Amino acid sequence: MKSMTGFGKAAGALPDGTEVSVVVKGVNHRFLDLGIKLRDEYASAEPAIRRAVTKVAQRGHIDILIRTTRPAGAAATARIDMDAAEKYSKEWREDSSKRGLPADLSARDILSLPGVVRTDDAAAAPDSTFEEIFVQIVESALQDFDAARAREGATLLLTFKEILQRIDAGVALLDAARAGISERIAASLRERIEKLAAGIPLDEGRLAQEVAQLADRADITEEIDRLKTHLVELRRLLAADGAIGRRLDHLAQELHREVNTSGSKVREAGATRLVLDLKSELEAFKEQVQNVE
């Protein structure tokens, strides 16, 4: 089991001495949602980075921040694109006169416009060797990130086991609370009838009929059986490898449905309290499931 929450980092250097720093962060998400921030000249490595992510994660919102620092003496050089500057200036003069705006742009204005000042980096677009090393650094950060998710997953597993122990105990108590339900319904009904119709002989056959109907409505045998079955499946999933978050979430919903149905059937105060306790434990379980990949 792995959590979708994690943090990883790595650093390295490219053949030209460029230092690369990678930070990977992950949080909960229904699907795999990936955000990559890197310089344009390394954009060709993005598909390989995406493939590397899919090897370690199947769900979650993952941000990868890649910073590069060039070695001293390899700074980028800048040049001015005069054609772009002329085009901006010409279009401004023509349009500004129609709108009553100042006709001239200052040099500072023009130089700040997109595409006028171009940067020619000392390094050309990375070749296959550059890209391979670049991706290897990212993969190291992803491995660190994956290890953090595994550690978080181990902690989650302990939490799940503790919650399941309490749910098991609650289901067992609810199961035990069913014992003698018909007798208690009969005694309660007999007492109420005797109060309302004092001195009138009871129709035992009719009383037995009513008791049978009420006991049937209060019967949660099927719900208890399904709860036990779901709990067995939950434990099987918790022992399995791979991405189990969606299946855990589905089972948690099924458990909640059975507990709700039980709550609508039981009428005794003790059983009602047990149902409320089970609902509380299941809410805690569902909340933690949202962190599981």
Domain map of the chain by residue range? 6-74+125-148, 77-120, 150-289
List, for residues 105-150, the tens digit of each pLDDT value. Answer: 788 887 887 777 766 554 444 557 888 999 999 999 999 999 999 9
List, for residues 269-282, the tens digit of each pLDDT value. Answer: 888 899 999 999 99
**Residue whose entry in the numeric block shows the structure tokens 């299946």:** 247
C-alpha to C-alpha distance for 109 and 104, rounded to whole angstroms: 10
CATH fit for domain 150-289, picks 2.40.160, 3.30.70, 1.20.140, 1.10.3470 = 1.20.140
pTM of the entire structure? 0.70
Per-residue pLDDT, 214: 64
C-alpha to C-alpha distance for 94 and 76, rounded to whole angstroms: 35
* CATH number attached to the domain at 6-74+125-148: 3.30.230.10
Q: Cα 121 vs. chain centroid, distance in angstroms? A: 40
* Mean pLDDT value of segment 18-25: 94
Per-residue pLDDT, 123: 46
